[in-house]
A and B are shown apart, each in its own frame.
Chain A
Amino acid sequence: MGLFEKFEKTATLYNGLEAAGQNPFSVVMEEVLGPTRAKIRGRETVLAGTHNYLGQTFEKTAIAAGQKALEVEGTGTTGSRFANGTFSGHKKLERDLANYLGVDYCVVFSTGYVANLGAIAGLIDPSEDVVLIDADCHACIYDGCQLAGAQTIRFRHNDPESLDKRLARVPPETKGKLVCIEGMYSMYGDVAPVKEFVDVAHRHGAHLLVDEAHSFGIYGEKGRGVAEDVMDQIDFYSGTFSKSLASIGGFVASRHPEVEYLRFSSRPYKFTASPSPSTIATANAALDNIASDPSIRAKLWENANRLHAAFTQLGLRLAAAPAPVISVLFDTREEAFAAWNFLLQHGVYVNMAIPPGTPGKESLLRLAVSSAHTPEDIDALVSAYSALAEAFPAARRSAGH
């Protein structure tokens, strides 16, 4: 029994939700009907809780590229990048990503999670380096620090001054200092002041890693991310294929040639299989699409702005300014559960997040916008959220917030 005792609390919570028929963590997409629609519990539902920001899941060119790769290169690489798992497709995608971002080097990993583990654990020597992370960084950045065995210091979210103070306290004998932030943060949809962070980090001789998992392809005139205007000053840029590129995989890009050494020093690069040829091919095709067609990005922003304006009008308690993620805050977990279920009953799937997985004490419903959301999808979302605002006073700003 000892091994499983720890699950008791979790089990009570989740079994309770399950019994009430409203467990947001056991949703099954029974039938996928398109980039923004699926059947859930037998019902056609608008998907607004995926990361299909640029609507690439059913792009014809990507599907064709994937099919061709399956036929020509087979179903899997059956090995790690370090050994037999590097095909010409992996190398081409690395070059194309580097070109798109305007840097010289790029290393492809098996997922975005693994890319951050690989970067941090590969770069950091725990006996002489230190990592400073934004308090709201994603789990994989925390896990990367842990894998590295690194001295890890947290600074206040999006607060360069808080970083400044902590960098000033780092003992002078410390060799390397790595600062980790994200571009757009996935829970609230708020954005880092990257330029300020560059200035503070470099003033203290630290390197800066920006994880643009949720902002790659989306922010900046060219879609290079929140850091686009200071790309030449960013030290490491991590990203994923699982969101705007609608595939699986991740990468670390850099202007420093030393990033190439991750291929030898990084266990998460060496000890897991590489992405299959078809996932690489679809990611590359999606990259070609979003790089050559800025209207995809423009469409996403149009949808995001429209939804944010409509929700603001409804008086909903929104977490941040218009962004591809639009979150409504709730004081209690119970309210958020009920509201999530309410939306699903109204034919809308969004994500629910509860502490400690959220930045503050609040629970939230998180809507992820897609460029593929049609005007009908948007209408359905606005109508479901207006019913929500009506039924849940707690979701509105006027409720004492």
Chain B
Amino acid sequence: MAATGESAPKSGVDEGGPSGGIQEDDDLVFRKICSLLDPLNHTGVKLTRDTDLVADLEIDSVAVLDIVMDVEDTYDISIPVNVISETRTIGQLVDAIHVTKKDQA
């Protein structure tokens, strides 16, 4: 279990996104997250990998955890709370999901 937390992206691993074959899968995860965030996007900002969940979207930490529960059920993975609390942007969340998916595949 510990491996999941340790290998999760910490910060700044953004811009350009991951390379190679996982790109497409990453886009799917990104789009899934965006579709879950859309109803909560009251500030109307454009959702990108750089969007800060709390600062830009003004959604609270519990709402983020709830979204992650939907993601978990969609992909049949478990993403620990402690991993999520280290993510600030949509891109970091996507990366964390991606890493977890690979680990738990």
Contact = CB atoms under 8 A, between A and B. Distances in A.
Interface of A: 126-128, 130, 135, 142, 145-146, 149-156, 162, 165-166, 169-171, 173-174, 355-356
Query: Which of B68, B81, B104 has the most chain A CB atoms inside 10 A of its CB?
Result: B81
B22 interface: no
B104 A153 contact: no
B80 A152 contact: yes
B65 interface: yes
A169 B77 contact: yes
A173 B3 CA distance: 11
A152 B82 contact: yes
8 contacts: A126-B2, A145-B82, A152-B80, A153-B81, A155-B69, A162-B69, A169-B78, A356-B62
B81 A152 contact: yes
A170 B65 contact: no
Contacts, number: 57
A355 B60 contact: yes
Given A135-B69, A169-B104, A153 B2 contact: no
Given A151-B80, A151-B82, A153-B78, A355 B1 contact: no
A156 B72 CA distance: 11
Given A126-B2, A151-B2, A165-B73, A356 B80 contact: no
Interface string B28-71: 00000000000000000000000000000000111101101100
A126 B3 CA distance: 11
A360 to B, nearest CB: 9
B80 A153 contact: yes
Contacts of A145: 81-82
Contact of B1 (A130, A146, A165, A356): A130
A146 to B, nearest CB: 7
B76 A171 contact: no
A145 B80 CA distance: 11
Contacts of B82: 145-146, 149-152
Contact of B62 (A151, A171, A355): A355
B53 to A, nearest CB: 13
A162 B72 CA distance: 10
Contacts of B79: 153
A10 B50 CA distance: 25
